[in-house]
Amino acid sequence: MTATHETSGAEETARKIRVLIAKPGLDGHDRGAKIVARALRDGGCEVIYTGIRQTPQMIAEAALQEDVDVVGLSILSGAHLELFPRIVEELTSRGLDDVLLFCGGIIPEEDTQALEGLGFSAIFRPGTNTGDIVSFVRDNAPAG
Amino acid sequence: MTDLVERLLAGDRRALSRVLTRVENGTREGRDDLRRLYPRSGRAHTVGVTGGAGSGKSSLTGALAGELRRRGQRVGVIAVDPSSPFTQGAILGDRIRMQDLVLDEGVFVRSMAGRGALGGLAPAIDDVVAVMDAFGFPYVFIETVGAGQDEVEIAGTALTTVLVNNPGTGDDIQALKAGIIEIADVLVVNKADRPGADVLVSQLRALLALAPGEGRDPPILSTVATTGEGVPALVDAIDEHRAHLERTGALGRQRRREARHQVLSTAQRILLERIRAGTSEEALAELVAQVAGRSLDPHTAAERLVGAGRADAG
Ligand SMILES: Nc1nc2c(ncn2[C@@H]2O[C@H](COP(=O)(O)OP(=O)(O)O)[C@@H](O)[C@H]2O)c(=O)[nH]1
Ligand SMILES: [Mg+2]
């Protein structure tokens, strides 16, 4: 039997992609967020789910404590242009400017550019196949 | 100052978070970090909170942390949830019950997945606890779902083990009969706002009276985690258990038991990793096929794997 790895391979447990799924604002239900969380779990990710009604500080603080690679925001209320910049600001002020950001929910086409400018790498609208979200996360999560 | 360990020791929470990841992943950096941090650990009061799914462990851990904050203490929390045995992914939802604490700088909550550990406790749990300890939290709570084996394991990791029960489920008494009561330093009847709490308390008391008590019987406390009722008394009981360990000299024994557990479980992990690294997927598949085809027995196959791991190590 031959050794396939000689050094670090023997010592490292497989690195897991850690994803925070958060619902900012006052949306009362989180069905969509939970579906995404489950799909990502089934895709092998470790998903931290924090529940509804999260403020920008709460989201950034959870991202910091959990050392996530990816933050996914789900929003239905229409407050994204108001809340997302504040979330990005809170993340940045904590030194979390390298996380992969995506969002989903009810987000008009005309807001796409603004969100891309904020650093969102993908926007998933209702009807998206959850498999696309999983592939996006797995293909784009920062390494290490 | 870019060295993560130095930043951690200076109280940088982002550095703590990064080091926790490296240590959890068992990378080379993580092992170096742990080697430097370990001598600084051993001061925290580590408290395991275990019990069935939905018994209120997260709510109770949040309430305990809140009470300790009111007493001026800082608190680290590690919440472990199982990984899916199929995909190795996980949904970690314990933070939902600890929302009040998110913005409190004196609290740090980290969710961990079981990552396929056989018993259910995450493989690197002891290392992660040591990092939280070295950061300087006087209390570190470890929440784990109890399914028998993990409860016994958590008792090897924490100084004080709190076992959470609920009234009206009936399962708990069963579980307790299976010997789990022996690992509890403090017994809690949570959801005491529900009918049957008093009955459960007397049942537990009767059970303890039957058990061949060698010394201290665990106290039984009633709590309502969602309102905080009974939580200050639970903090007192947790503190009293540590005081008891110190008074009787049991603390030293417990520390040695922990150390033994850590050395052996880490050795087990390293050995398994070496075996996996020393074996190509093809070679493993070949052995597996032979065992499945009954031309080789599992014991002989495992011996061959272990032999390969040893050759690789030497
Ligand atoms: N009535 C009542 N519900 C509670 C109590 N403690 C927790 N719960 C609820 O029980 C459910 C499970 O709680 P959780 O803390 O997540 O349990 P865990 O799975 O053991 O961590 C939640 O809906 C809590 O709000 C309690 O003392 N009384
Ligand atoms: Mg829980």
Amino acid at position A84, single letter: F
* Res B141 pLDDT > 50: yes
State which residues form the domain around B178: 42-250
List pLDDT tens digits, range B242-284: 999 999 999 998 889 888 888 888 888 788 888 888 888 899 9
> Same domain for B5 and B133?
no
> Same domain for B17 and B153?
no
> Same domain for B221 and B278?
no
> Same domain for B77 and B162?
yes
pLDDT of A58: 96
- Taking an 8 Å cut-off on Cβ atoms, the answer to whether A16 and B115 are in contact is yes
pLDDT of B309: 56
Over residues B136-163, mean pLDDT: 81
Residue owning tokens 């529900």: B194
- Taking an 8 Å cut-off on Cβ atoms, the answer to whether A16 and B278 are in contact is no
Q: Which residues have C-beta within 8 Å of that of residue A56, sequence separation ≥ 6? A: A24, A83, A86, A87, A89, A90
- Taking an 8 Å cut-off on Cβ atoms, the answer to whether A13 and B25 are in contact is yes
Residue of A nearest to B308 (CA): A1
A52 confidence band (pLDDT: 50, 70, 90)? confident
Q: Which of A11-20, A36-45, B79-88, B174-183 has the lowest mean pLDDT?
A: B174-183
Q: Quick check: B234 and B160 in contact, CB under 8 A?
A: no
Which residue spans within chain B are E strands per DSSP?
Answer: 45-51, 75-81, 90-92, 107-113, 139-145, 160-165, 186-190, 220-223
> Same domain for B214 and B201?
yes
**Residues in chain B, overall count:** 314
B53 alpha carbon, closest ligand:
1
Residue of B59, B145, B169 with the most ligand 1 atoms within 8 Å of its CB, for mutation = B59
Amino acid at position A85, single letter: P
Ligand 1 in contact with B46 (CB < 6 A)?
no
pLDDT of A78: 86
> Same domain for B19 and B106?
no
Quick check: is B255 in a domain? Answer: no
> Same domain for B13 and B48?
no
CATH number of the CATH domain containing B229: 3.40.50.300
B174 confidence band (pLDDT: 50, 70, 90)? low
Which residue spans within B100-185 are E strands per DSSP?
Answer: 107-113, 139-145, 160-165
Here the ipTM equals 0.89
pLDDT of B172: 56
Quick check: is B16 in a domain? Answer: yes
> Same domain for B18 and B81?
no
List pLDDT tens digits, range B51-103: 888 999 999 999 999 999 999 999 999 999 888 878 889 999 999 999 989 99
Evaluated on CA atoms B188, B190, B192, B198, the torsion sign reads negative
| Helical segments of B136-229, H only | 149-157, 171-177, 197-210
> From CA B300, how far away is CA B302, in angstroms rounded?
5
Over residues B10-37, mean pLDDT: 95
Domain range summary for chain A, segments of one domain joined by +? 15-139
Q: Into how many domains does chain B fold? A: 3
Amino acid at position A141, single letter: A
pLDDT of B117: 58
Quick check: is B256 in a domain? Answer: no
pLDDT of A120: 97
> Same domain for B303 and B231?
no
> Same domain for B47 and B145?
yes
The pairing of strands B90-92 and B220-223 is: unpaired
pTM of the model: 0.90
**What is the homologous superfamily of the domain A15-139 according to CATH?**
Cobalamin-binding domain (3.40.50.280)
